[in-house]
Amino acid sequence: MKPSPLTHTLAALGTAATLTTSLHAQEIYLAQGQSEKEKSTITLPYAFPSETMDLAFGVASATTGGFNQPQSAYGWGVMGSSNSSYGVYFGGLNFNAPGSKRLFVDPLIGASRYTEMRSYQNIPNQIGPFDTKAGSNESDEEDYLTGKGWDVFVDARFRYLLPIGHGKNTTIHTYSMDNGLISDGFTGAEAFNPLTSGRSYIRFAPYYRSKKYSEDTTDALLSATNGLELGLEWDNRDFIASPSRGERFKFLIARDFGWFNSDSTYTTWEFEANKFFSLPETSWARQQVLALSMWTADTPTWSDNADGSVSGRAPEFRSPRLGGFNRMRAFPFDRYNDASAIYYTAEYRIIPQWNPWADINWINNWLEPAWWQIVPFVEIGRVAPSYDLGTLHEDMQWDAGVSLRFMLKKSVVRVDCAVSDESSSVWVMLGQPF
């Protein structure tokens, strides 16, 4: 493996992983006059330039309402590239588990072979060209490793809906929509009390991921992990697909017990809080929403050893980290990773009254565009070697950007453009970032 320079990042992830994990919770979405959910499939080719794949291309498909479960969705994707990278993905969402009306599962599996796979971590007991630790808040943007390798992951994310609030009498919720905005069937934001409003979940998810470099013959890098994630969630948003009111809280603990081919034993926790404020409708805006989010995480098992090595830490892709399509969007995946992290963002989401696609028949028939949205946003955050609130709020990283989002076939598609003083990125994804 060799270090290589970091340049402008341009990424568009049109794979089944993004198609399924970014869709909605166990909901059914009905347009005006529609009484029954219809099975719907969208298949799209895609191509994009990338630092790590040169020119990437592929096909992705997503289907909602299959297998006689109208609340479910599944998708698949295949990709290749001009530098001989390739991958295949499959994912499902909101499948009702047999024997329980309240248990839902999201399976996800993928395997990719990269010729320039990237890692923001140091090789133990090797002196690199930089004085700072790779991935740390002070690290150099060119301090990463790249080489040939496989990235394989398997997840099964289970959610048990508790019989309280809006989940007391209804396990699969039906929304009625008027041109992409909710008109009836709110799922929360009626009270700040999980016993009477919103839906609450117990979450558990066994996971496995191996990001193995072909040239890492000594297994020096942390590259394989498997474990169990447990958590609680209260979702008190009025409309899951694109909320305008309410809040959402989530707390997760993950543990790798060192089983099978795991490279380390560790524990991490994370907490996320989101809040949405509805602003007045105007002559030019159908909807205005101020969306706020904070997230923080820690690795209590992290221990710096006298020889410079670290025990009790996760691989960088499971550590507290910033960068990618949801947090600090101007930076590559896992650009910043350490023992602890904190993050804040604010978005101003505007849906104009004017819909330029309303009278274009072939677009309406193919994509069903209900609305479009323009979203300026700002983000700040940092990682640190220990969980100290003072340190976490010093010398924070920042970025800012603008996003165009579209309600297509009752799902939100977003194109996020973000810039910082170090890098810039463009992401094409499904779903709101929070």
The length of the chain, given as a count of residues: 434
Produce one character per residue of 113-143: b if its CB has 16 or more CB atoms within 10 Å, e if not: bbbbbbbbbbeeeeeeeeeebbbbbebbeeb
- The pLDDT score that the predictor gives to residue 177 is 84
Q: Are strands 27-31 and 173-178 parallel, antiparallel or unpaired?
A: parallel
Q: What CATH number is associated with residue 108?
A: 2.40.160.50
φ, ψ (nearest 5 deg) of residue 260? 55, -125
Q: At residue 418, what is the residue type?
A: A
Contact, 32 vs 45, CB < 8 A?
A: no
Considering its fold, how many domains does the chain have in total? 1
201/165 Cα distance (integer angstroms)? 11
- Please report whether residue 361 resides in a domain: yes
Q: Are strands 40-50 and 54-64 parallel, antiparallel or unpaired?
A: antiparallel
The HSE-up count of residue 153 (CA atoms within 13 Å, CB side) is 20
- The pLDDT score that the predictor gives to residue 101 is 92
pTM: 0.89
Contact, 252 vs 213, CB < 8 A?
A: no
- The pLDDT score that the predictor gives to residue 32 is 59
24/94 Cα distance (integer angstroms)? 8
- Please report whether residue 8 resides in a domain: no
Greatest alpha-carbon span in the chain: 68
pLDDT tens track, the chain, 434 positions: 433 333 333 333 444 444 444 444 566 776 655 656 677 788 888 887 777 778 889 998 888 877 888 888 898 999 999 999 999 999 998 999 988 999 999 999 999 999 988 889 887 656 667 878 899 999 999 999 888 999 999 999 999 999 999 999 989 888 888 888 988 777 789 999 999 999 999 999 999 999 988 876 556 677 899 999 999 999 999 998 899 999 999 999 999 999 998 989 999 999 999 999 999 999 999 999 999 999 999 999 999 887 767 889 999 999 999 999 999 999 999 999 999 999 999 999 999 999 988 789 888 888 889 999 999 999 999 999 999 999 999 999 999 999 999 998 888 889 999 999 999 998 888 889 99
Q: Which run of H or of E encompasses 427? A: strand 424-430
- Would you tell me how many other CB atoms lie within 10 Å of the CB of residue 150? 16
- Please report whether residue 1 resides in a domain: no
* Distance from chain centroid for Cα 399: 18
* Distance from chain centroid for Cα 335: 15
- Please report whether residue 129 resides in a domain: yes
- The pLDDT score that the predictor gives to residue 96 is 92
Residue 381's domain spans which residues? 16-430
Report which of 116, 124, 122, 118 is spatially closest to residue 136, judged by C-alpha positions.
Answer: 122
Q: Can you spell out the DSSP letters for 51-119?
A: TTTEEEEEEEEEEES-TT-TT-EEEEEEEEETTS-EEEEEEEE-EEPTT-SSEEEEEEEEEEEEEEEEE
- The pLDDT score that the predictor gives to residue 127 is 64
Tokens of 56: 């990437």
136/338 Cα distance (integer angstroms)? 6
- Would you tell me how many other CB atoms lie within 10 Å of the CB of residue 214? 14
- Please report whether residue 11 resides in a domain: no
- The pLDDT score that the predictor gives to residue 121 is 85
Residue 362, helix vs strand vs coil: helix
- Would you tell me how many other CB atoms lie within 10 Å of the CB of residue 328? 26
- Please report whether residue 2 resides in a domain: no
Name the DSSP letter for residue 389.
H
Q: Show the DSSP H helices in 373-414 as ranges.
A: 389-392
Cα dist from 362 to 358, 367, 409, whole Å: 10, 8, 14
Q: Which run of H or of E encompasses 364? A: helix 361-367
- Would you tell me how many other CB atoms lie within 10 Å of the CB of residue 4? 15
